[in-house]
């Protein structure tokens, strides 16, 4: 049986109603230029070329995005250093989400271009989405509501702590191997 992840509640966001259209740059670029703290913006990790941030419109609790600082629409637009760090940070993000939430599974991917589901097509970003059996329920289809059992601030703090403790880092895992 084919199962679907349906998030109709995101229609306004995907349709572009989240922005006034007056600010220059993507929402990620605007956020980086805001001068707000990482705690206020829900950034959980910063690297040299990419950063990781909690998704403001998550599919599930702990939904993380890995985003290059440079605003580019496609993987082919990244330079070698950005590409390397993007995938290394996705790997670290998966480890941090696993450490923080112990999900039964994960979705990891990119939506390149609006027809592919990209809600911010000008600024590529990789999704790390923790999943549990039955994490979608009747509330989504009947009440047009998604229930998330944790506030975004708390999710960011959990993932940030997992990342900083080394449980979400390739380096920490590499030093513990025989």
Positions marked active-site = 125
- Taking the C-alpha atoms of residue 57 and residue 9, their distance in angstroms, rounded to an integer, is 9
Neighbour count for residue 125 (Cβ, 10 Å): 22
Find all residues with CB under 8 Å of 97, minimum gap 6, and list them.
62, 64, 103, 106, 128, 130, 159, 162, 168
Give which of 135, 52, 68 is closest to 101, Cα–Cα. 135
Instruction: Give the burial class of 23: count Cβ atoms within 10 A of its Cβ; 0-12 exposed, 13-18 middle, 19 or more buried.
Output: exposed
User: Quick one: which H or E segment has residue 153?
Assistant: helix 152-164
**132-167 per-residue burial string, b: 16 or more CB within 10 A, e: under 16:** eeebbeeebeeeeebeeeeeeeebbbbbbebbeebb
């Amino acid at each position: 049986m084919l199962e679907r992840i349906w998030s109709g509640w995101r229609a306004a966001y995907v349709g572009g109603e989240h922005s006034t259209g007056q600010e220059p740059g993507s929402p990620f670029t605007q956020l980086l230029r805001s001068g707000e703290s990482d705690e206020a913006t829900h950034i959980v990790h910063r690297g040299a070329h990419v950063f990781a941030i909690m998704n403001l419109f998550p599919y599930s609790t702990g939904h993380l995005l890995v985003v290059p600082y440079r605003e580019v629409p496609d993987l082919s637009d990244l330079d070698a250093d950005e590409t390397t760090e993007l995938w290394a940070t996705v790997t670290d993000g998966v480890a941090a989400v696993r450490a923080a939430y112990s999900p039964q599974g994960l979705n990891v991917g990119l939506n390149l271009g609006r027809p592919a589901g990209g809600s911010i097509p000008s600024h590529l970003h990789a999704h790390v989405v923790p999943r549990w059996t039955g994490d979608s329920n009747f509330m989504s289809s009947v009440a047009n509501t998604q229930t998330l059992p944790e506030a975004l601030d708390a999710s960011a703090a959990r993932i940030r702590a997992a990342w900083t403790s080394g449980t979400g880092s390739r380096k920490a895992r590499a030093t513990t191997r025989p």
